[in-house]
Amino acid sequence: MTVDTLSNVSHLLASLGLEADNPGAFAGTWIPTHGERVVSLNPATGEPIAAVHMASVDDYERVAAVSLDAFREWQTWPAPKRGEVVRQLGEELRRHKAELGHLVSLEVGKITSEGLGEVQEMIDMADLAVGMSRQLYGLSMHSERPQHRMYEQWHPLGPIGVITAFNFPVAVWAWNAMVAAVCGDSVIWKPSHQAPLTALAVTRIADRVLKANNAPPIFNLAFGGRAGVGERMVADRRLPLISATGSVRMGREIGKVLADRLGRGLMELGGNNGILVTDDADLDLALRAVLFAAVGTAGQRCTTTRRLFLQKGIAAEMKRRLVDAYKSIRVGDPLEPGTLMGPLIDETAVTNMLKAIDTAQAEGGKVLAGGKRIDRPGFFVEPTLIEATVHMPITCEETFAPILYVFEFEDLDEAIRMHNSVPQGLSSAIFTLNMRSAERFLAATGSDCGIANVNIGTSGAEIGGAFGGEKETGGGREAGSDSWKIYMRRQTCTLNWGTSLPLAQGVEFKVGE
């Protein structure tokens, strides 16, 4: 075991500007908060790391007021100048990559490479956003009226509310905050109650960069529960956009409130991701991809592979390889070299996983590997492989844990129907060496997910593409491509540079004739 001693944890927190007890609100400066004291636990041991005092609704009001004032100034900065501030933020994150990655691993149980990878994702998002700051393009259109010019331009939208989940405690903030910043928006961040320390550390780093550039306090934070701060943020008409990552149930609740006030919602909700493996697939490649996508982050990614569809010709062989591989997965301290799977986030996650396994067995599923809790401190479980059929209702649900349901299919059309039969639609993949099968999967009548891959797994999306899904996944898009448009308002402009006033569509309106 290499779980850090309390003294090492204290040294790590101090290096990031954190103490044993931390205020849970930032509005250009740290606000003393006196709400509920929430202890952040190390899921590998169940022991406390540090505590944070939640913000109250009054604290949130101070944060929102500062964010609105900051937006009013920030939107006047030229976009490339805003990009320069974001570039410097990326450089500051680079300087603290090791400490931040360590803290991510401590607080949410990711193995070391994944903790560091999450910080790298923030850095990469800063680089991507810097490029965006010079490419916030509008279109030019030809007018049907003589001596008229038409074009569109994009303006900053306003303060943005960002609600993040524990499984990517800082990367998802970066997907939103880096892009929103170059678009001219300010951000209020409500992090997960299970991962407040990483949010506090990143906010401190961002604040130093802003102050060094005499920039307004555009990166603010309000740590609170779903009731209180969360409800107030979602209902706040000063925030034209709420970006929320979490469960489908949470998304439905937020969506109702936003619809009532006609606010925008960027939803990244549940995933029930599937991989299809055909008879002609490279099984070595497929095996490696399935293992990372199903077991990585202990099955606690929204893009985790939860359903595996095997064509009958290779099904027996692939199952045999999977069972052998699952038995060899090293589960343990996420900071120890060689560990492939760390703990679940908390006791509730363990309980939910064991209940899902019991339900699957009651519905006719057969456990091929794993299926148990590991008897040691912390929240460790065995990665679990279950032989399933499409008639098992549990396979249509997302259990946020390392459970992989395995199905068999005859032909590709049958597999696609099975794959698309669930209410979620985030990520998907097919392993095949047949071009026609690949194109069939990518066609409009193929995968119904927001992400569709060929010969790579469902996890590990690159930031250059727009990330998000369809159906109950919420329809939101973050990170690359043209995702920046959600953080801005579009304005269509028409200039008449002539002396007459022709109307569109040939309409005539002659006064006095």
Residue-wise pLDDT for 247-284, tens only, equals 999 999 999 999 999 999 999 999 999 999 999 999 99
For the chain, 513 residues long, the average pLDDT of each consecutive 10-residue run is 54 85 92 91 95 95 98 98 98 97 97 97 98 96 96 98 97 98 98 96 97 98 94 98 96 97 97 98 98 97 98 98 97 96 98 98 98 97 96 96 98 98 98 98 98 96 95 96 97 96 87 71
User: Cβ distance 311 to 434 under 8 Å?
Assistant: no
User: Cβ distance 290 to 404 under 8 Å?
Assistant: yes
- DSSP 8-state secondary structure symbol assigned to residue 230: I
Tell me how far apart the alpha carbons of residues 447 and 426 are, in angstroms, rounded to a whole number.
10
- DSSP 8-state secondary structure symbol assigned to residue 455: S
When computed from its CA atoms, the radius of gyration of the chain, rounded to whole angstroms, is 25
Residue 77 three-state SS: coil
Contacts of 342 (CB under 8 A, 6+ apart): 43, 44, 105, 109, 110, 111, 297, 298, 331, 332, 333, 334, 380
Residue 237 three-state SS: coil
Contacts of 338 (CB under 8 A, 6+ apart): 330
User: Cβ distance 144 to 504 under 8 Å?
Assistant: yes
**CA 31 vs CA 53, 56, 193: distances in Å:** 10, 11, 18
- DSSP 8-state secondary structure symbol assigned to residue 330: -
Q: Strand ranges (DSSP E) for 143-185?
A: 148-156, 160-163
- Helix axes of 112-132 and 79-95: crossing angle, nearest 10 degrees: 160
Contacts of 162 (CB under 8 A, 6+ apart): 172, 173, 176, 177, 180, 187, 188, 189, 190, 242, 243
pLDDT 10s digits, 137-190: 999 999 999 999 999 999 999 999 999 999 999 999 999 999 999 999 999 999
Residue 171: CB atoms within 10 A of its CB come to 21
Number of residues written out for the chain: 513
- In order of their start, the domains of the chain are 6-269+479-491 (3.40.605.10), 273-457 (3.40.309.10)
Please tell me the pTM assigned to this model: 0.95
pLDDT at 17: 86
Residue 288: CB atoms within 10 A of its CB come to 13
Query: Position of tokens 């027996």?
Result: 316
Tell me how far apart the alpha carbons of residues 475 and 471 are, in angstroms, rounded to a whole number.
7
Check if 302 is active-site: yes
Catalytic one among 114, 118, 121, 268?
268
pLDDT 10s digits, 82-92: 999 999 999 99
Sign of the alpha-carbon dihedral angle for 223, 252, 443, 281: positive
Average pLDDT across the chain, whole number: 95
Residue 282 tokens read as 């490279």
Contacts of 76 (CB under 8 A, 6+ apart): none
pLDDT at 9: 80
DSSP letters spanning 492-513: EEEEE-SSS-PPGGG----TT-
Catalytic one among 107, 302, 398, 449?
302
Check if 508 is active-site: no
Beta bridge partners of 219: 187
